[in-house]
Structure 1
Amino acid sequence: MKIKKEVTIYDLAKELNYSPSTISRALNNHKSISKKTVKLIKEAAEEMGYRPNNLAAGLRSNKSNTIGVLISRINRPFVSSLISGIENTARKAGYNVLISQSNDKYQSEINNSNALYDSRISGLIVSLSMETIDMGHFEKFMENGIPIVFVDRVPSNFNSYKVVIDNYTAGYSATKHLIEQGCKRIAHFAGAKHRNVYLERKKGYLDALREHGLPIEDKLVVNFKTLSFDEGTKATEKLLKMTNPPDGIFAANDTTGVSAIMCAKKLGVKVPDQLAVIGFNDDPISSIVQPSLSTVSHPASKMGAISAKRILEHSAQSYDADLSEITVLGTEIIARGSSLRTVKS
C-alpha cells in the first residue's frame, strides 16, 4: 500500500501561486492578509488535506497549544472525570491534551514529566503519585515559565497553583456520620501518610473521634500502599476477627469501602447493623454493591475544569498570576444503605 505524502505549506504555495510565508500567515489569520485571501487559502488547504504541524510550531515558539496531564491511574473513575473536565475546558480554547500516567510510581512520574517537558507543553496539570516526596523533577517547568497546577494530590513544599477539596472537613463529616448512626469503635482505611488527601482525611477522622469522646486506637487505623480492593479485603478480615471488632469503617476511597462490605458479608457480618461503612469519591461501584455504599462526593470534573482554566489564564497572561493560589472546593456526604441503620440493608 502506497503511503500518501503529507501536504505542506510549500505544496499549497505551489498550487495557489503564493509564497510560503503568505500561506503561513493566512493559515494563522494574520491581519496583513485579506479576509478573501485567508478564506481562499483555508478552503484549498482543507480540500488538499493539509494539517498544521503543531510540533514544528512548538519547536519555533518553544511552546505548543498542548496541556500536559500527569496522573496516577487512568482507570480510576475519579481520574477519568478529572481528565474529562480538563479536556472539555482545554478543547473549547483550542488546546490539545496530552495524558500520561505514573501508575503511582515515583520513577515513572519523573520519566513521564521529562517526556511531557520535551513535548514543549504550554502547561502541566499533575496529581502526584503515591510514592512522590521529592519535587525536583518539576522545577525546570517553573524555571522555564511553564505553569503547573497540582490537583487533588498536591505537594506542601512546592509553590504553584493548587486545586483541592477540603479533605479535613470531609474526613470529619464522614466519621461524624458513622457516629450519628450509633458507631462506637470506628476503623479508618488510610492512604500514604505523606499524601495531603489522606493525611487531612485522617486528621478529620481523629478529631471527630476526640470531640465525641470515642477511643482512638492505633490498631483501628490501617495504612495502605495503594488503597486497592485486595488490601481492603485483607484489612477488613483482620479487623473483623479481632476480639473486639470495629462497628464502623471510614475508608479513604470507595474501592476499599466496597471491599469491606463484600468481606463482611462473606464472614456473616451484617451491614450496616453490625458494621457501618462509608467510602470516598462516589465512584459508580458505590451504587452497584449491595447494600449501596455511603460515600463522600468528590467534584472531580469541576476540579479538572478549574485546573485547565488556570493554565489557560496563565498562558494568556490575562491576570496577575499568583503562583501560591489555592482553590478549595467543598464536598458532601451521600448516605446510603451501608451506613444508614434506619434503612434496611
Structure 2
Amino acid sequence: MRPKKRTTIYDIAAKLNITASSVSRALNNSNHVNEDTKKLILKTAAELNYKRNVLASNLRKGENKTIGVVVPRINQNFFSNVISGIEETTYSKNFNLIICQSNESHEKEIKCVNALINQHVDCIIISVAAEGTDYTHLQNVIDHNIQLIQFDRVVDELETLKVINDNELATLEGITHLIEQGYKRIALLEGPQNLNIFRQRKAGYLKALRKHKMPVIDELIVENAWTKELGAEGTRKLLSLPEPPDAIFASTSDFSALGVLEVATSMGFKVPDELGILGYANEPFTELTSPSISTIDQFTNYMGKTIANLYFQESENKDSVVVPRTISVKPKLIVRASTSRTQQV
C-alpha cells in the first residue's frame, strides 16, 4: 500500500479557498492574519493532519540546525559512543543529527558526504574510511562553506578542526607496561598505514622498543591485521615462528585482540604467562573474556561531546574565519588479566 500523501499548506489553502501565503502566515502566528481566519486555518490544519516541514522552514530562514556524521561503522562501540556524546550535546542545543556509515567504503563515503551537502547541513563530522586516498569530496565540503570537523581517523593534509586521541603516547605507555611485565619479544598487529591513527600507533610501538633498548624485529610486525579474522590469521603465523613472540599488541582494535586470544587458546598458549595480549579501544567484551583483555580506553563519549562543543564554540565565535586546530584526548591504559603475569620472567 502506498503511503498517504503528506498534507501541505496548499491543501489547506485549497480547502478554505484562500492563498497559501495566508496559511503560511497563520501557521507562523503572524499578526497579518485576523484571529478568526487564523483559528480556522489552525483547525483545518489539525483536521488534515498537517505536519510542519522543519527542514524547509529552517532553510527559508537561512538556518538548518542539522549536523551530519559519517563513520566507518555505526555498530562498533567506539563510533557508537562518539555518536552518543555528539547527540547528547546537539540535543541540548536543539540540533538534529543525520548519521551515515561508509562501511569502510571510499565510494560510499563520497555518496554520504555529497548527500549531506545536498541536505544543506550546518556541519559534517567525519572519521574517514580505510579505503580512501583521494579526499576531494572533503575539500568540497569546505568549498560549500560547511563546517568540517574530522575525528579519530583524520586527513592530515586538510586544514580543518580535528579531535583525535594521542595514539602514539597511549601506545608508548602500553608497550612500556608489557616490557615492565617481563615480555621481551613483543609483536605488533598493525592497521592500514594510509590511516593516521595506525601510523601513530606503530610510531609509539617503535619508540617504546627503542627507548628500552629492545630490538625491532621485522618478522614480529604483521601488516593490515585490523579485523578479528585478520588478527587471528596474523597470530597463527606469529605463534608458528621458530621463536614466537611472548606478547602481541593488537594496535588496530579489541576485535583483533579477540582473534589473538582465540588462536592462542586453541594453540595451547597460556595467557598471560606464555603470551601477553594488549588491545585497543576498551570494547565492552574485553572485561568478559577469559582472561579479560588489557586495552586502551579512548574516552569515546567525552570525545563526542568535545567534537560537538567545538562546533558550537566556533559557531558562536564572532570572527568569520575558523582557524584550523587540533584537540587531543589522552587515552588511558586499562590493565587486565591478559598482561598481568603472576611472576615476571
- Report the TM-score, using the length of structure 2 for normalisation: 0.88
Counterpart position of 1:261:
261
Counterpart position of 2:340:
340
Residue 196 of structure 1 and its aligned partner are, at CA, apart by 1.2
Matches for 1:117-132 after TM superposition, within 5 Å: 117-132=117-132
Residue 306 of structure 1 and its aligned partner are, at CA, apart by 2.0
Residue 194 of structure 1 and its aligned partner are, at CA, apart by 1.9
Return closer, same or farther for 1:18/1:302 CA change in 2, 3 Å cut-off: farther
Residue 5 of structure 1 and its aligned partner are, at CA, apart by 4.6
User: 8 Å contact 2:314–2:322 — kept in the other structure?
Assistant: no
User: 8 Å contact 2:273–2:342 — kept in the other structure?
Assistant: no
Compare 97-106 and 11-20 and name the one that shifted more. Answer: 11-20
Q: Which amino acid aligns with 1:307?
A: I
Return closer, same or farther for 1:223/1:56 CA change in 2, 3 Å cut-off: same
Matches for 1:1-345 after TM superposition, within 5 Å: 4-10=4-10, 21=21, 24=24, 49-57=49-57, 60=60, 64-224=64-224, 227-252=226-251, 253-317=253-317, 322-342=322-342
SS in 1 for 2:324: coil
Separation of aligned partners in 2, 1:128 and 1:13: 47
SS in 1 for 2:277: strand
User: 8 Å contact 1:122–1:315 — kept in the other structure?
Assistant: no
Offset from partner CA, 1:266-317 (integer Å, 9 cap, x none): 1000000000111010001211211000000011122222222333344455
Q: Which amino acid aligns with 1:7?
A: T
Separation of aligned partners in 2, 1:40 and 1:280: 61
SS in 2 for 1:193: coil
Offset from partner CA, 1:13-36 (integer Å, 9 cap, x none): 6889997556546756779999xx
Residue 134 of structure 1 and its aligned partner are, at CA, apart by 1.9
SS in 1 for 2:338: coil
Residue 261 of structure 1 and its aligned partner are, at CA, apart by 1.1
Residue 233 of structure 1 and its aligned partner are, at CA, apart by 0.6
SS in 2 for 1:243: coil
Separation of aligned partners in 2, 1:273 and 1:334: 18
Offset from partner CA, 1:158-217 (integer Å, 9 cap, x none): 011101111110110111111111100101111111211111111111111111111101
Separation of aligned partners in 1, 2:125 and 2:117: 12
Offset from partner CA, 1:97-147 (integer Å, 9 cap, x none): 111111112222112211221122111000011122222111222122100
Return closer, same or farther for 1:144/1:182 CA change in 2, 3 Å cut-off: same
Compare 132-141 and 6-15 and name the one that shifted more. Answer: 6-15
- Report the TM-score, using the length of structure 1 for normalisation: 0.88
- Structure 2 runs not aligned, ≥5 long: none
Compare 100-109 and 177-186 and name the one that shifted more. Answer: 100-109
User: 8 Å contact 2:7–2:50 — kept in the other structure?
Assistant: yes
Separation of aligned partners in 1, 2:28 and 2:89: 22
SS in 1 for 2:207: helix
Separation of aligned partners in 2, 1:47 and 1:167: 58
Q: How many residues align?
A: 342
SS in 1 for 2:87: helix
Return closer, same or farther for 1:102/1:274 CA change in 2, 3 Å cut-off: same
Return closer, same or farther for 1:199/1:3 CA change in 2, 3 Å cut-off: closer
* RMSD (Å) for aligned C-alpha atoms: 3.1
Separation of aligned partners in 1, 2:331 and 2:240: 33
User: 8 Å contact 1:261–1:277 — kept in the other structure?
Assistant: yes
Return closer, same or farther for 1:143/1:30 CA change in 2, 3 Å cut-off: farther
Percent of pairs identical after alignment? Answer: 37
Q: Which amino acid aligns with 2:218?
A: D
Residue 3 of structure 1 and its aligned partner are, at CA, apart by 5.3
Return closer, same or farther for 1:157/1:43 CA change in 2, 3 Å cut-off: farther
SS in 2 for 1:333: strand
Separation of aligned partners in 1, 2:82 and 2:75: 12
User: 8 Å contact 1:62–1:120 — kept in the other structure?
Assistant: no
Return closer, same or farther for 1:26/1:263 CA change in 2, 3 Å cut-off: farther
SS in 2 for 1:200: helix
Compare 103-112 and 206-215 and name the one that shifted more. Answer: 103-112
Residue 89 of structure 1 and its aligned partner are, at CA, apart by 1.7
Separation of aligned partners in 2, 1:38 and 1:316: 36
